[in-house]
Amino acid sequence: MSLRARMVALLLALALVGCAMQPERLAGNVSRRISRLQGYFAEVDAVVFSPRGEQRYRVRQWYRAPDFWRIEVDFGSERQVFLCDGEYVWVYHPGLADYFRLDATAAQEVSPPFLLLNYLEELVQTPGYRFEGRQEKEQRAFFVVSYARPATSETIRLWLDNKSLFPQMVEKYRDGVLLNRLTGISLDLNPDFAAGLFEFTAPQDHAASAHYLIRPLSLAEARREWPLPVYVPTYLPQGTGLMAVSRAEEEGRGQLMLTFGGQRPFTLIQRPAGDNRQQRAVGMQEVFIGQTPALYLKNRVGDLHTLWWSNETSAFILTGSLPLPEMMRVAASLTAD
């Protein structure tokens, strides 16, 4: 090979090395992309693996900076809607004549299911992430990275598009076992959003509320002001504690919310008996808290569990990431002062 040919080959090799993504630069590049992101729409195919087999979902998600999002999870004819309007998180199951609202800053127990931006933010905030290299899939180039979630013993693996740095595929593992996989179908960065997309619309058989009042309280204030007995759990999972108490009035529909923080946060909502408007829906199951019948619904993607029941004076909703056995223990321990 001539000297000229060797020089050309060397320059080409240096150019290729210079264009390669350096592991230590990846998180910084992703962080800059996030800071410039105004919003996106994405549609993904989600597969959840379990001993009972695979379950497939179609997930559509909209995000508008800084803190508006809407996620629709479809499973056959069923749909679950999660919506954050910047102040409140709304959880709505079409087919149920009920919905509930949580304060967005305190509702950590409602993790938006499969929100792609969350994975990018976790990657940026994880100093020990692993850069696994560059891979080709379907004639597209991806950077493959993984990071751990120590609190849940989970590992997340991302296939980031080498241009947009957005996840094209996401896999979640626990103890080496694949739990679920997301595969991107479409992605539209910084789109125009339809008016009202991030606003909650009540079910047709409820009047849509235009004005809300929500006030933080101490537990002592709640006991003085709430017209009914205030129920608090005498059993809490280890490391869990009461974070916030708030009372909401929504066109005369009052509710008292106790938000508990910890490794598996949850919220206890109590309303006057007779104001519990839920109906049976596909996926609900009847359980018993002692001798009291209750309805239980597990979010199809496994991030949210909800329990409904009532007594002579109050109706209750217990919602969060607690598994059913723990929920039952908390519910059974409720005591009114």
Q: What is the DSSP string of 64-86?
A: ETTTEEEEEEEETTEEEEEEE-S
Q: Which residues of 90-100 are buried (b: 16+ CB within 10 A; e: fewer)?
A: bbbbebbebbb
Cβ 197 vs Cβ 208: under 8 Å:
no
Residues whose CB is less than 8 angstroms from the CB of residue 302 and which lie 6 or more positions away in sequence, other chains included: 48
Cα 105 to chain centroid distance, Å, stands at 13
Domain residue ranges in the chain: 22-189, 213-336
Question: Which pLDDT belongs to residue 301?
Answer: 56
Cβ 159 vs Cβ 144: under 8 Å:
yes
Counted residue by residue, the chain has a size of 337
Q: Is the model's pTM score more than 0.85?
A: no
Calculate Rg over the CA atoms of the chain.
Answer: 24
Sheet holding 53-64, edge to edge: 99-103, 88-92, 78-84, 68-75, 53-64, 39-50, 177-189, 167-174, 154-161, 140-149, 130-137
Cα 29 to chain centroid distance, Å, stands at 25
Confidence of residue 73 (pLDDT cuts 50, 70, 90): confident
Question: Which pLDDT belongs to residue 219?
Answer: 79
Q: Which residues pair with 60 in a beta bridge?
A: 43, 72
User: Given CA atoms 199, 318, 297, 281 in this order, what sign does their dihedral have?
Assistant: negative
Give the integer Cα–Cα distance in Å for 180 and 325. Answer: 23
Question: Which pLDDT belongs to residue 110?
Answer: 56
* Same CATH fold assignment for domains 22-189 and 213-336: no
Is 90 exceeded by the pLDDT of residue 160?
Answer: yes
User: Given CA atoms 118, 121, 125, 127 in this order, what sign does their dihedral have?
Assistant: positive
3-state secondary structure 220-282: HHHHHHCCCCCEEECCCCCCCEEEEEEEEEECCEEEEEEEEECCCCEEEEEEECCCCCCCCCC
Cβ 231 vs Cβ 335: under 8 Å:
yes
Looking at the domain covering 22-189, what would its CATH class be? mainly beta
Least confident of 166-175, 181-190, 258-267: 258-267
Maximum C-alpha span of the chain: 94
Residue percentage of the chain with pLDDT more than 90: 39
Least confident of 28-32, 230-234, 248-252: 248-252
Pairing relationship of beta strands 88-92 and 99-103 according to DSSP bridges: antiparallel
Which residue type sits at 71?
I
Q: What is the mean pLDDT of residues 190-216?
A: 65
Give the integer Cα–Cα distance in Å for 225 and 219. Answer: 10
Question: Which pLDDT belongs to residue 246?
Answer: 80
Cα 200 to chain centroid distance, Å, stands at 17
Question: Which pLDDT belongs to residue 302?
Answer: 56
Higher per-residue pLDDT: 275 or 271? 271
- In CATH terms, 213-336 corresponds, of 3.30.200.100, 3.40.50.800, 3.40.640.10, 3.20.20.140, to 3.30.200.100
Higher per-residue pLDDT: 99 or 134? 134
Higher per-residue pLDDT: 88 or 136? 136
DSSP notation for 286-316: EEEETTEEEEEEE-TTSS-EEEEEE-SSEEE
Give the integer Cα–Cα distance in Å for 90 and 200. Answer: 7
The total of other beta-carbon atoms located within 10 Å of residue 64's CB is: 20
